[in-house]
Amino acid sequence: MLSLKFSEGGLIPVIVQDKETHEVLMMAYANEEAVNLTQSTGFAHYYSRSRKKLWKKGEESGHFQKVERILVDLR
């Protein structure tokens, strides 16, 4: 299990990079439930601050994000 430090609001910032090019694709936020879903399903889940709900990347657009690995910046 990942050891993460969530903000007082229960969120952490998430940076998504392309596996091959390392290009940054997006920055989003995740809560503990989104992190757990990402780990258990292998697909990226985030928390929408504006809609105040979880979302799976690709549910509406069809552009799903398969997670190859999760790295944590412990600084």
Closest by Cα among 34, 33, 29 to 44: 34
Looking at residue 50, its pLDDT comes to 96
Look at residue 74 in the predicted model and tell me its pLDDT: 78
Contact indicator for 16, 28 with CB cutoff of 8 Å: yes
21-71 residue pLDDT tens: 999 999 999 999 999 999 999 999 999 999 999 999 999 999 999 999 999
46 vs 3: which has the higher pLDDT: 46
pLDDT in tens, 4-24: 999 999 999 999 999 999 999
Q: How do the domains of the chain map onto residue ranges?
A: 25-59
pTM of the model: 0.90
Residue given tokens 């690995």 in the structure block: 69
CATH number of 25-59: 3.10.20.810
